[in-house]
Amino acid sequence: MSPRLPRVRTRLTDLAEQAGVSTATVSRVLNGKNGVSTQTRQAVLAALDLLGYERPEKLHTRSAGLVGLVVPELTNPVFPAFAQVVESMLSEAGYTPLLCTQSPGGTTEDQYVEMLLEHAVAGIVFISGLHADTTAGRDRYHRLRSRGMPIVLVNGYAEGVDAPAVSSDDAAAMDLAFRHLISLGHRRIGLAIGPERFVPSQRKVTAFTDNLARHLGDTEPADHIVTTLFTVEGGQAAAGELIATGHTAIICGSDLMALGAIRAARARGLDVPADISVVGYDDSPLIAFTDPPLTTVRQPVQAMGHAAVSALVAEINGVRGTRTELLFHPELIVRGSTGVAPAVR
């Protein structure tokens, strides 16, 4: 018997256990054979990486090309989540992703684009970039399209730009959060939102205003909206103002803002959710493990990332996609940061 056999057998068993498949399936993947689903193949390859095994040479396929992925920053955990999904989908499609992350005072979006053009990328995915900023020009995207560069815009529809656009439905998100709080008896509901120049902020504010009028007959939205930053500190500052004006529930424009709102409530000796209910937005990784676990509106990151990559690959292959914005419906995830309004108990 070959002395290598036990080691190989052990490797197949370990890989099969890690990937949740049979050893026969692992063998098919390692030998590059057909008849295995993409999801299963990815699970086996991930098991190889996690267990520290080097991928067989036959699994090293030549890249179909480079694709740029431009994100605003990585401090908000929803952006790494988007990046991970898009990078995985691009790799699955045979492309090599180049992640470009911005930071204050660092490389700008335009500088990254120049670098990506120098690398002769096949296309670019922009996530919450300048296309989402209504005060920024659209010329940069028009120039890319005039050069024939395929691009896709995620979360921030830029009317007039010749590119597919994928967004979470901000109006639907606000409807879900507002109706949830109304069902719990809250009548003083506030909104803590990021800078109003961004498309998602504007859409959330519009939907919040509509909900105030429809459910509470309140036509003075300015009394219930605080504009700040999409950060923990921004959420804390906004919540402080809303708590001071008697609000018993706060809807936040991001999960980080919601964590800041909880901090603001506790700094005033208030309990969440007994005294103040807080709703986040994104359902970022690990947000279910906060104290209390955060009620939030989940962005369909997986579906949006898949749609963005599918659209980009189609454009690269010369298949023109729809220029109508694709809106993905979010999901309300109820956890421990929302409860019955104090006046109802």
pLDDT tens by residue, 30-42: 887 777 776 787 7
Supply the pLDDT for residue 278. 98
Residue 104 confidence class, pLDDT cut points 50, 70, 90: confident
Structure-token pair, residue 214: 């429809």
Residue 4 pLDDT > 50:
no
| Mean of the per-residue pLDDT values of the chain | 91
Min mean pLDDT across 29-33, 162-166, 189-193 is at 29-33
Geometric angle at alpha carbon 122, from 93 and 134, rounded to 5°: 105
For 48-98, write each residue's pLDDT tens digit. Answer: 888 877 777 666 555 568 999 999 888 899 999 999 999 999 988 889 999
C-beta separation of 242 from 189 below 8 A: no
Residue 6 confidence class, pLDDT cut points 50, 70, 90: very low
Q: Which CATH class is domain 5-59?
A: mainly alpha
Supply the pLDDT for residue 63. 59
Q: In what order do the strands lie in the sheet with 225-227?
A: 225-227, 189-193, 249-252, 277-282, 295-298, 331-333
Residue 3 pLDDT > 80:
no
* Tally of CA atoms within 13 A in the half-sphere of 33 that contains its CB: 8
5-59 with 66-168+301-328: one CATH topology?
A: no
Instruction: For residues 240 and 302, give the distance between their C-alpha atoms in angstroms, rounded to a whole number.
Output: 34
For 283-326, write each residue's pLDDT tens digit. Answer: 998 898 999 999 999 999 999 999 999 999 999 999 998 899 99
Supply the pLDDT for residue 314. 95
The residues spanned by each domain of the chain are 5-59, 66-168+301-328, 170-299+331-344
Supply the pLDDT for residue 157. 93
Taking domain 170-299+331-344, whether its CATH number is 3.40.50.2300 is answered by yes
Closest by CA to 233, choosing from 269, 189, 203, 192, is 192
Residue 46 confidence class, pLDDT cut points 50, 70, 90: confident
C-beta separation of 296 from 279 below 8 A: yes
Contacts of range 48-56, beta carbons closer than 8 Å, 24 or more positions apart: 48/15, 50/18, 51/14, 51/15, 51/18, 53/11, 53/15, 56/30, 56/31, 56/32
Q: Domain 66-168+301-328 belongs to what topology?
A: Rossmann fold (3.40.50)
